[in-house]
Structure formats: structure tokens, C-alpha cells
Chains A and B, each alone.
Chain A
């Protein structure tokens, strides 16, 4: 639809601040160059274009970060963010400081899965480094950002396996435990594909007896074979198309699978029943201009039907990526919701 593109640009431009529009349009352009019609992905160009930041044990706004090699054979790295340890002013924290609990009181540990539709970004991508630092100050949390293996080189279930590996690692770290009972108070969080990963890791945790305090899903990535009303109505209008969603699912899901695969459609015909499982409480944040919203709302309904607590935060005028730049009410109000959810369920 040649003429349609011009209208679309104007609509999306009116929905977000100009610098947000430039940021997300830049990603859209870059991502269009990376996805090949034959299903392969230009990984080298993707890594070239991605803006990355180093970890830093020098406190910045009172927060430090460092990378940990969790699993050598898979090169699984996670980036840990935490409030700067109380060392002598001006000196750099030493290794032992890094592994001290950040406080005597209970504190949350948030295991974060970055977005990118299973194919893009890394734990050291600038957009996610920024977001994770914000979570630390927002919730006085230790945040662990998982550098999971990505599609199409690594399909389902690699990303879930990596998430599970980090959860298990965290469960074994003494310094992440807090409170009278000395236990790990862990939240699983993620945006886009990261939200999807958070769900599936939570299922595995529930089946294995690891207690998760809460799930935080931001514009999470779900789907199914049928075309929902929101997908049809919003196709191509706010940075995202059905076509690109299809491409990413095809890249992530096993060969020959369709979008009713349980990874994509957890409450669809092939889903796993969650009744009776100790599944965590969920905070599901939905952007009203995200074409995936019908799937996200269906997901929330599915949890409710299975007897689990869900709070849906619906931001009518928000687009994808609203949480990347602190320049709208959507950003600040959703951060408050997250903060309250964590505080309440700690």
C-alpha cells in the first residue's frame, strides 16, 4: 500500500514524541535490512548496528554492573546490576564487595529478559542497560539481565533453557537471599520476546518448586494462527507489521511448527494447563497501539481462568517501546506500577 505508508508515518508520528519516533523508526529500518526473505538473518550487520555499552563497576548514579559467565559451553553471560556496595569513597569495589548483599532488609532480585523478538539485542545493548539500571533504582533491586541465545541460529527452546539456567544459578547464590528466612525473592521480567520467556521460565519454575514472587510482562510477545482484530486493525500503523511478527515466529519456533505451538500461544489448543500450579502473580502491561494486544489480553484471561492473579495495565495511547525513553506519562506511570507490584509482592 504505497499511499498507506505516508498515512502510517503521520499517525505514528502523532502518537509519540519526535525523538521516540526517530529511535523506533531507526530500529524498524535497521531490522528490515536484517531479516532476509529466506528466513536467514544478517547477524554480523545486526551486531555492527546494535549500540552496546560496557559493564561498569564504577558507580554511575549509585549503580554498578558486571558480567558473569554463567555457563561456559553455551557462552551464557548475564549482566548483574546492583546498588554500589558500601566501599570507601572513591575506591573501586573489589570482587568480594560485588557479592555482598545490597542491604540487610529484604530486597528483590529481578531476572530480566530483554526484548528483540527473539532475534535482536543483547544484555549489553544500550537500550536494555538503561532500562535495567532504572529497575535497580526503582525497586532497590538486584537485576540480572540474561544474554540468551537468539533466533534464528538458536530456536525454541534455547532461550527458555538459558533463562532457566540463570534462575537456577541465582537460586544457588547466597548473597541474593534476604529477609528472616534468608530466601531468594525473585521476579521474572521481560519486554516483547523477554515477556514470553519470563512466562515459560515461570512455568518451569512452578513445575520444579522454585518460588517466583511475581512476573512482569511488558508488551510481551505472544501469537497464534488466527488473525486477531487488533492485528488487522493496527497492521503497519505503529512500527510493527503482521509480516514481521510472522517472520520472527518462524525464526524462533521449530521447523514445521505453526503459531499455535505452545511457546507462541500458551493458552491455545496446544497449551499446557496451569490450574493448580504455584504460578506467580503477574503484572501484564499492554500498549493500546500494539497490534499484539489481543494476544496479550487473551494471555491475561488465560491466567485468570486458570485461577492465577493478574493485574492488567492497559495504556490506550502507548505504542511499542514506550518504556525505552523517559519522556511520556506512559513511561513514568508504568514504572510506578512496576515499583508497586514488586514492593507489594516482595
Chain B
């Protein structure tokens, strides 16, 4: 409830004349500006993206002054090293939380600067050597490259040394690895920073805004030509008719759409094609819904994986997802000797070679690494889950990381129980039984499916909490495709997939793989097309593509007892730099959003990575503090 402001009533018309309403509103605003609000956050700054409590304002101002004097005097003393340290080496988190952001810089100022270290020796003939090195000034603590997963059928461990990874045609991921000279002090400082940032009070006010924030509907118009607009108009008219259950009219319009679509080119034609097809399925669908996109069958699981892989290759969204999630996992695992990752969607394990490599190069040596991969039932009794595990084991052996793997088949994540994920090893039955095992739970585009069955998501989030992970990485499509009204879902999806398809056209894979690139793109379009069919033509338990926005996910996670772990500027920078590798990559944009990172096409975010830990969990908290004390 907001306080009344006497200023507003007294405002009146200074100039008389037109616009009186506007002026009165302005006066009211001014009154609010002067008095702040009941929930404590300065409203005017909040409107500009900064969350500062009115009661903290003077304190923040004082810290800013302190910083200014310190930086001013160092500039005067020509202390370039200090300024450079603040600018280059500091990892920033969540700039919206202004108070903590300023605190972080102040603490960097007061901490001893990092000792100069010799650069790591160049990895000359290492087959997994980094293929892409950045100049030292921008690497901070990580260098970037690509790493290939060994291909071919599983072989006996003795044959591992004969593997020729360069000859493989398997996929390559974005590699993260420590350059090995990040001083312990700076690292513990960073952990304390992130902890502090997580528990800061202003972030708890996010949940109140989530519902309203979720309503923002983004439109990027890439084709403002007359014909394109008529096509969209026809699609919308058809969807409206469907919503009104006027199926006869809808059917008539859907026929017109294919005529209109034929006159279009590029992305718009393809998108219109998929949406028209989806509408047709909805209009003429057999009862119960059947066919591609609706019920996921055992047969479709293998097809899904194949299409997913092509989507992975054709555009940077999944690589971004893996990269940023790995970054958060790596930071959370710092200082631990036994680590365990639970992957909710194992598929072909594309995310894990890069993490293995990063762990191998970790200062102090790699931890003992355990991976639990979850996957759906496969046809032909084939054991895709185990095969992937085998390949990763081979890779781990070459880079000398102690690796254990277990695959779990589950038709739904809701079928999992905590004991399955923890297993006997967690009790410390292994050699290093004095070392606790810490767990990371990783979910890439999986959680939204659970919204199709009531209670499923809550069960899964409960399972995650029971496992007591040090970090939970969540990547989801940044869109609201789960609204109650069909027309709203349709409109949202139309904007979202139009932008997606446009990015596939504009940001095609590097020219070196032109032939493969074209094939990848076509398969990626089919992959996305299946999502479109699901959003538009399916309902109930079959409609699994229930994407929701970052504010909506934040609200859910927060409600279920998770705190946000902000992803920092180091991950942001490196993700941005890697995007430059995609030709046509100029259209891709990484954005920071209240501790989360999004990747989008031009100004429209399309995928979001967030990281979480259990709120108030002493294990999680002490885990992050561990490096400070050791």
C-alpha cells in the first residue's frame, strides 16, 4: 500500500491550459520521488533498472564517494595497475543490485592485487589443445577453445591411447579452462562476493514484480513489408477463429495462408508454413491428438536427439547454454575434491567434454568426477545413455580425470527419487571417504515439460532440494508459451519463432561447413517446427513445450526455496566473444538480467541461463565458504 502524498493534491496547474492531466500525474510522481515507497526500494531508480533501498541511499552515496576518491588519487599517482586491476580482473555481478556492486568494487580495492604469474606453457602437441586463444588481457582466469568428443564405437580401455580425436567428425563444444594462475585470495573473495550478492535483501522483492514483468511481450519486426504483414494478419485471424471455435472459418483462412506464404521468402515463409500446418492439425485433428509433435513416443526419442544435435550445430543457443551453465558449475565446484553432476537431459552429452577439460586443467588438479545422466526410454533396446557415458569415459581417461558414470532411464523427471541420484557413492564408500561429494544439478530445456502434468514440477524441485546441490543450473526458452488463452500463446509463439528462424538465416554456421551448415539449418528448422506444432496443435498432457519467461521461473524457484546465484561478467564476456565466431554473429546479443544471462537475436532474448542454490541450506552455504577458509 502506498502512502498518500500531499504534494500531489497541492500540485495543481501551473500553467493552466492543455495537458492538465499529465501535469497532475507528474506532480504526483514528483511527490513519490521525494518520499520513496513502503517496500523500501527507490521507485525512480527501480524504473531505470537499479534496486536501491531508500534507506540505503546515503550509504551507497558515501561508498561511491569513497571509490571516487580512491580512484582519483590513484589516477593522480599514475597507479595504472590499480585501475587496470579494477577494470580487468574484477568480476562483476548483478549491476542492478547497486549497493552490492559498489561494495564488491570497494572490496577489490581493499584486497591485495593479484601477484603477477608466469603464463601457462603453450600446449603444443596435446590433441585436445586449445584451438582458440585470446590475448592475456581479456582472458581473465579462463582461456577458450573447442574440444572434440571422441567418436566411434566404445573400445576397450587399452585402446584409448590410440584414439585420434582430431580425426573425429563429432561435435565440438565451447571449452572453458582455467589458465591456472588465479590467485587463491581473489577466488575466495569472489566466492564471498557471490554469496553476499545472493543473500542481499533487494533481490527478494523480485518475486512481487514477477507476475507483472512476465507480461512484457517482445516484438522484433524483421520484415515490415506489406506482404509479410498480410501473412501475419491471416495467421492471427485464423488463430482467432480457432480460439472462438469457428473451425469452418479457420479452415478457410488456413488455405489462404499457404498461398500467401508461397509469395514470401526466407524465414517468414518457413515460419508461416509451420504455423499454418500446426493450425491445420488443430482444426482437423483426429481425437485423441496423434502424430508428430503431440505424443512423444519411444520412436521419437532417437529422432529428437538427432534433431537436437543439428540445432546445436546450426546456431549458438545450446552452446551458449552449455557454456554458461558450465561456468556456474565450475565456480561452484571450486575447492572440492569429489564432484557429481546430474544431467536431466543427457542426450549425446554435448555439454560435458568442455567441463571435463576445464576440471582437468584446474589449479590443484582435477577432482574426482561423477556424472549421472538421465534420458528417456529408447527404441530397439539400444542403450544410448550408456554409449554416451562410454565416450565420455574415454575422453576423461585421455585427460586423466577420475570419472564415473551412471545412466538412468526415466520417462519423466518426476519418476526420479533422490536416492537414485545420490547413490551409494555419496555415503563416501569410495577411497576418499573423508571428502564430501558435492552435487550440481543441470537442466537444459527440461523443466518446462513438467508443467504439462500438475504437481510434476513441484516433485522434481523437491527432489533437487533433497539432493542438496551446491548449484542448480537451469536453461529455458525465454518466452511465455504457456498462457491460458490460445490466441495469446499463438501470438507469443509467432513472434518468438519468427525471430528464431530469422537468426538461423542471418547467423548461419561458419562457411567452412557450408554443406553441413545447410543440412544443419534444415534439421534445426524441423526441430523448431516440432516445437511449434506442440505449442499450437496440442493440449493437456501432450502439450509439453510449455515455455515460460525468466521472471516466471524466478518466481517459481524462489517460492520453492531457491536463491539466485548470479552469473558474472566473466561468463558474459566470454560468451559474447565466442558469439563473434559465428558468421552473421553480429545480430546475437548476450544480456545480463538480474544475475541471469540471456542470448537473443538483436534486441529479443530467446534463451536464458540461471543458477540457483537451496535457500538457507547450511551445506550449500558452507560449500561456497570453503575456499575462503582453506
Contact = CB atoms under 8 A, between A and B. Distances in A.
A complexed with B: yes
Given A25-B64, A29-B64, A2 B73 contact: yes
Contacts of A28: 68
Interface in B20-47: 22-23, 26, 29-30, 33-34, 42, 44-45, 47
B572 A48 contact: yes
Contacts of A42: 87-88
B136 interface: no
Interface centre among B52, B102, B217 (most CB of A within 10 A): B217
Given A5-B69, A22-B57, A327-B33, A137 B49 contact: no
Nearest to B80: A37
Contact of A49 (B45, B67, B92): B92
Interface in B88-113: 88, 92, 95-96, 98, 102, 105
B154 to A, nearest CB: 41
Interface in B197-247: 215-222, 224, 229, 232-233, 236
Interface stretch (B173-181, B368-376, B421-429, B587-595): B587-595
Nearest to B71: A32
Contacts of B572: 44, 47-48
Contacts of A332: 23, 26, 30
A56 B80 CA distance: 43
Given A26-B64, A126-B48, A75 B586 contact: yes
A49 B104 CA distance: 14
B217 A336 contact: no
Interface centre among A19, A32, A49, A56 (most CB of B within 10 A): A19
Nearest to B61: A22
Contacts of A137: 22
B65 interface: yes
Interface stretch (A64-72, A222-230, A283-291): A64-72
Contacts of B96: 51
A236 to B, nearest CB: 9
Interface string A6-29: 100100010001110111011011
* Tier of interface size on chain A: 35 or more
A29 B587 contact: no
A56 B68 contact: no
Contacts of A57: 217-219
Contacts of A171: none
A53 interface: yes
Interface in A187-228: none
B48 A127 contact: yes
Interface in B60-80: 60-61, 64-65, 67-69, 71-73, 76, 80
B69 A69 contact: no
Nearest to A169: B224
B217 A77 contact: no
A158 interface: no
Interface stretch (A92-100, A105-113, A274-282, A296-304): A92-100
A48 B215 contact: no
A75 B587 CA distance: 6
B42 A56 contact: no
A22 B65 CA distance: 10
B558 interface: no
A26 B603 contact: no
A257 interface: no
B58 interface: yes
B349 interface: no
B319 to A, nearest CB: 17
B221 A56 contact: no
A124 B603 contact: yes
A138 B25 CA distance: 12
A22 B45 contact: yes
B604 interface: yes
A167 to B, nearest CB: 16
A130 interface: yes
Contact of B69 (A2, A30, A123): A2
B151 interface: no
Nearest to B572: A48
A91 B92 CA distance: 40
Contacts of A1: 72, 76
Contacts of B45: 19, 22-23, 325
B353 interface: no
Nearest to A129: B48
A272 interface: no
Nearest to B237: A94
A92 B30 contact: no
A22 B76 contact: no
A325 B50 CA distance: 13
A77 B602 contact: yes
Given A54-B216, A69-B222, A92 B491 contact: yes
A152 B88 CA distance: 18
Contacts of B215: 58
Contact of A54 (B19, B50, B218): B218
B573 A48 contact: yes
Contacts of B22: 137-138
B195 interface: no
A35 to B, nearest CB: 9
A94 B491 contact: yes
Nearest to B48: A126
A26 B50 contact: yes
A245 interface: no
A2 B587 contact: no
Given A5-B72, A95-B232, A336-B15, A49 B603 contact: no
A311 interface: no
B69 A66 contact: no
Given A49-B95, A56-B216, A69 B15 contact: no
B229 A99 contact: yes
A18 B98 contact: no
B517 interface: no
Nearest to A18: B57
A51 B49 contact: yes
B139 interface: no
Contacts of A94: 232-233, 236, 491
B30 A5 contact: no
Nearest 3 CB-CB pairings of A with B = A51-B49, A327-B33, A44-B573
Interface of A: 1-2, 5-6, 9, 13, 17-19, 21-23, 25-26, 28-30, 32-34, 36-37, 42, 44-45, 47-49, 51-58, 66-69, 72, 75, 77, 79, 91-92, 94-96, 98-99, 123-124, 126-127, 130, 137-138, 147, 324-327, 332, 335-336, 339
8 contacts: A17-B34, A22-B98, A49-B92, A49-B95, A54-B218, A55-B219, A92-B217, A326-B30
Given A19-B44, A56-B216, A69-B602, 7 more contacts: A5-B73, A22-B64, A29-B67, A52-B49, A58-B217, A67-B221, A68-B224
Interface of B: 15, 19, 22-23, 26, 29-30, 33-34, 42, 44-45, 47-50, 52, 57-58, 60-61, 64-65, 67-69, 71-73, 76, 80, 83, 86-88, 92, 95-96, 98, 102, 105, 215-222, 224, 229, 232-233, 236, 487-488, 491, 506, 569, 572-573, 576-577, 586-587, 589-592, 602-605
